[in-house]
Amino acid sequence: MASESMGVEHVSEESGLVFHPMDQFIVKPLFGDGPIAWYTPTNVTLWMALAVLAIIALMVLSTRKRAIVPGRGQSIAELAYGFVYKMVEDVTGKDGIKYFPYIMTLFLFIVCANFLGLIPGSFTTTSHLAVTVVMALAVFLTVTVLGFYLHGVSFLKLFWIEQAPLVLRPILALIEVISYFVRPVSHSIRLMGNMMAGHAVMKVFAAFAGLAVIAPVSVLAISAIYALEILVSFIQAYVFAILTCVYLKDALHPQH
């Protein structure tokens, strides 16, 4: 019998389950297997489009009736709207409400993409750095441009903390500048890392299921991790949205 430490490779040889835990993240063209250009429809574009369709189904189709006593779909839509609205209001204050549609869009897209990615056999678009980096850079650029647009040069006071003693201020300014430019990095890699790691762990346990002795443990572990992943999918979308709110608050009120 194989020792457990080399289980993954050994199992795949024995039972014909030939897959690598990272295989699920390969971008493939939908039709044929030619080279991938920027316009090629791939599984990423398919699942992103499905996420958009899911949002449309939830927010447009289910609320079409505008019932006074909401049905199931409408109450989920209302719940999501109220949840994000309250979050934006709590974190950015009254004058941040203007930017609520942007944050709502980000939140809904990420939450739908994450949940669709949890369907067995589907593709998690948010596990790709290219997808999350676009969203994080968009937030970063929006917030920076908005800060300079609203406050002009005095937006730079964000880095010059006036409450601190004068001697410390240059050092703090350096740290603040570094942490400002690290924001898009951590913002994007947090989402991508969480999604990728969770799905890879599920696949690793799935590989253990080929070994009859530990198969029950493995199946239980997959179920437990799946439940955890549902939680993580939601929390990561929430964290992405709330960090967008925090960055937005910095742009709206740079004087701490």
Partner 1 sequence: MEGDIVQMGAYIGAGLACTGMGGAAVGVGHVVGNYLSGALRNPSAAGGQMATMFIGIAFSEALGIFSFLVALLLMFAV
User: Which of residues 79 and 246 has its CB atom nearest to partner 1 in the complex?
Assistant: 246
The token duo for 50 is 């499905």
CB 84 within 8 A of CB 240: no
User: Which of residues 59 and 87 has its CB atom nearest to partner 1 in the complex?
Assistant: 87
DSSP annotation of 156 reads G
Angle (nearest 5°) at CA 187 between 186 and 190: 70
Site string for partner 1, 211-240 (x = CB under 8 A): ------------------------x--xx-
- The least CB distance from residue 238 to partner 1, in Å, is 7
- The least CB distance from residue 52 to partner 1, in Å, is 26
User: Which of residues 69 and 231 has its CB atom nearest to partner 1 in the complex?
Assistant: 231
User: Which of residues 80 and 242 has its CB atom nearest to partner 1 in the complex?
Assistant: 242
In 95-168, where does DSSP find H-type helix? 100-117, 129-151
User: Which of residues 209 and 241 has its CB atom nearest to partner 1 in the complex?
Assistant: 241
Q: Which stretch binds partner 1 (CB under 8 A): 23-31, 34-42, 69-77, 241-249?
A: 241-249
By CB under 8 A, is residue 189 in contact with partner 1?
yes
> Could you say which residues in the range 71-100 bind partner 1, by CB under 8 A?
87, 90-91
Give the residue among 126, 98, 129 at the shortest CA–CA distance from 248: 98
CA–CA distance, 96 with 68 (Å, rounded to integer): 29
How many CB atoms sit inside 10 A of residue 129's CB? 15
CB 131 within 8 A of CB 171: no
Return residues touching partner 1 (CB under 8 A).
87, 90-91, 182, 185-186, 189-190, 193, 235, 238-239, 242-243, 246
